[in-house]
Structure formats: structure tokens, C-alpha cells
Amino acid sequence: MTNAPYTFEREPYRTELRVRVVETGADATRPFAVLDETIFYPEGGGQPPDQGTLDGIAVVDVQKKDGAIRHYLERLLGEGPVVARLDWPRRFDHMQQHTGQHLLTAVAADRFRWETTAFHLGAEVSDIEVGAAPLAPADLEALEEAVAVEIRAARSVTARRVDEAAFGKLPVRTRGLPEGHSGEIRLVEIDGIDLNTCGGTHLKSTSEIEALKLLGTEAIRGGTRLFFAAGARVRRRMGGHEARNASLRAVLGAPDAGLVAAAEAKLEQLQAAHRTARALEEELIEALAGSAALLPGATWVRHFDGRGGDFLQRLARQLAALSPGKAVLLTASGSGQHLFAIGFGAQLGIDAPEASRRIIEALGGRGGGSGRVFQGKAPTLDGLPRAVEILRSMIGGT
């Protein structure tokens, strides 16, 4: 294996390379291959690993381990020559986000004195953490515009390696070298803007970032996290927003500028309807409990279609309060669920927890409760006749 920089560092735009597998193995049941050269970037510095194929076998992860770069594969691969092919859209996306982060970090520090303390490149959204208090919307707009100016300036982006002596004399922006580092240090420079230590893959020019959009902020550990998207992600997000807006326009019957107001109005209507339905349900529970209390017998069994567990529980509790000498077994079915509630009046001389346990067992269900009301779910209601039989045998009467 060569000690010189790998191809992914020397030629970040290279998408295919003939290489040789020099070692194979398995790490935690994942097969891997070590190559004599590689175009695949291993995870590090906030940048995810590359993906692609080795002779058609998917490379699903790339990591540095024990002084080598391990290419984790979907299945085993033998030693010898192979063709490595990079998932270029994924790599270019990472280059856009990572170069965008360098530019964002540099502008935030130089123009606004907001120093970056961490970076994360996500699958959809990336972020940096800056040592600054929550930022005003006007500050974010100014930062975004300042970054846009440098994107339009098409500043060149280059990488080079220097020794430790030269490194000490350069105005490098860095959060420190890795512990135990020795030898040459890789620097990435945005002409006239930034000189930074970094091992990642980057674009040739800030113009290739295309655009960078700040998406929001979040307070964290005394600082602020800035979320952003760059490059093709901005266009994809814009397309997604437009598609959603088109659907919302059709559903709500409002233009873009009125979508929020229309959604709020619909929500208010829904909440009002919910309150009305809740009040009607309370009236229904009171009417059912009142009529059941007038019926002869010590037990009342009733099934409801489409009612929820909360309805059953409230009805059982209401009836137990109105008819202290009655026991009630209520069931309901809907949306693939079978629910039940059991209530015992206070005048019944019965061990309510033990009685409910036997009824729940007959139903083949699971449940619980407290006092004299119990509720739960059952896979079916096939056991209901047996449950009713047990209830009536314990209470007496019909």
C-alpha cells in the first residue's frame, strides 16, 4: 500500500479506477476488502463515507481501521484486480455540502465573529455549531447573502500538504490536529477567504456550490446550531416545497400566501367539531348509563362498533356510579382492534380485580385498571360468550 495520498484526495473528481484487493476479512460479520489504492473516501471530519461498487459488488461503508482503509461490502470478494466505481452523485453532493460548510464557516467567522465549533453533514440537512447567542433573522439574512456573494465570485478551491514547520507559519483556521498526528498536514484553501486543515473532498470552485440556504437555528450548549443545505439539495428542497404547496392549494383552496391562514381556519373548525363531538358523546354516555340503570338484572352487556377504549371506560365508570348494584361488560370493534371495559358497582360484594382477571382471561386479552373499572384489548371477541357466563355466575342474575 502506498504512503502517498490516495486517489480520492489527489483526484476527487475521479469516478472509476482499476485497483487490486490486497486483503479481505470480516469485521462484526461484515465482509471487507483493503485495496492497494482507492477512490472511496473513508468517513471522517464530519463527512460520511463514499459508496459505490468493486466489480459490481456494493461498497456500503468505508472506514479507517488499524492503519488501513476497509471497504465494507454486501458480500465477500476475492483478492486480485478489480474495478472500483464511485457513486458519483453521492460524492458530488458531499463535496458541495463540505465546501459550502468551509465557506459558511469562514464568512461567519470573518464577517460576524461567529466561530464554528462543530460540523455535521447529514443525508438531507447539514449543520454547523457556532459559539454565538441565538441569531436574529436579520443576522442570518446578512450571513446568507455574504455567502452568496462568495459563491458568485467563483473563488478557486485547492488542497495541498505542508510539513509541520511550514504549518506553524501559516494563518490556518483549525480546531486542532488529531491526537497523535505526525507528518504532513493537509490544507484546503478557498482563495482569499479561508485556509483550513481538512482531509475531506472538495469542489474546484465556490461556483460549483451553486447555492447555500440557511434553513433555521437551534440553541445548543451555550451556542447556536445553524442548519443549511447547498447545491442540488437546494433545488430538490425547492421542488419538494412547490409540490407540497400545489397539493395544499388544491386541498385548502387558497393561494400560497394564504395557505397558513387557511390551514389555521381548518384546524379551528376541526377543534370546534371535536369539542361538539365530545359533548355529544358525553350526552350519549349519560343517556346510555341512565337507561341501563333502569333495566332489571345485575349485569349489563353491550357491544359497540367503531367506539374507542376511552368511550367504553367512561361509560363503564358512569354506570358503576349510577348503579352500585350492577356489573357491566362493554366491548367495541374497529380499525382491526377489539376493546373491552368492565365495571363493578360499589354495592357488589365481589373481589373486583380477581373477577376482572377471570373475565379478561376468558376473552384471551390483556388489560388492567384500578378501583372497580378495568379495560384492555383482545385479539378477537370469540371468548365473549364465556366471559359473559363467568360474569353472570359471579354476580348472579342476568
Calculate the CA dihedral of residues 125, 128, 132, 138 and round it to 10 degrees: -40
Give pLDDT, residue 4.
62
Compute the distance between CA of residue 26 and CA of residue 87 in angstroms, rounded to an integer.
Answer: 23
CATH number attached to the domain at 292-395: 3.10.310.40
Backbone angles phi, psi at 218, to 5 degrees: -150, 130
Per-residue pLDDT of the chain (398 residues; tens, 9 = 90+): 334 689 999 999 999 999 999 999 998 889 999 999 999 999 998 899 999 999 999 999 999 998 899 999 999 999 999 999 999 999 999 999 999 999 999 999 999 999 999 999 999 999 999 998 888 999 999 999 999 999 999 999 999 999 988 988 999 988 777 666 778 999 999 999 999 999 999 999 999 999 999 999 999 988 999 999 999 999 999 999 999 999 999 999 999 999 999 999 999 999 999 999 999 999 999 999 999 889 998 999 999 999 999 999 999 999 988 989 999 999 999 888 999 999 999 898 889 899 999 999 999 999 988 889 999 999 999 999 999 999 998 887 55
CATH number attached to the domain at 92-238: 3.30.980.10
Give pLDDT, residue 388.
92
Record the pTM. Answer: 0.78
**Cα distances (Å, whole numbers) of residue 270 to 138, 206, 258, 259, 397:** 36, 49, 18, 16, 45
Q: Where in the chain is the domain with CATH 3.10.310.40?
A: 292-395
Q: Where in the chain is the domain with CATH 3.30.980.10?
A: 92-238
Q: Where in the chain is the domain with CATH 2.40.30.130?
A: 7-86
In contact, 93 and 232? CB cutoff 8 Å: yes
DSSP 42-110: PSBTTBPPP-EEETTEEEEEEEEETTEEEEEESS---SEEEEEEE-HHHHHHHHHHHHHHHHHHHHHHH
Compute the distance between CA of residue 55 and CA of residue 81 in angstroms, rounded to an integer.
Answer: 9
Give pLDDT, residue 2.
39
- Cell representation of residue 216: 433555521
- How open is the CA angle 4-157-2, to the nearest 5 degrees? 5
- Cell representation of residue 95: 463535496
Which single residue is written with the C-alpha cell 504532513? Answer: 184
CATH topology of domain 7-86: Elongation Factor Tu (Ef-tu); domain 3 (2.40.30)
At what angle are helices 137-152 and 88-112 packed, to 10 degrees?
A: 120
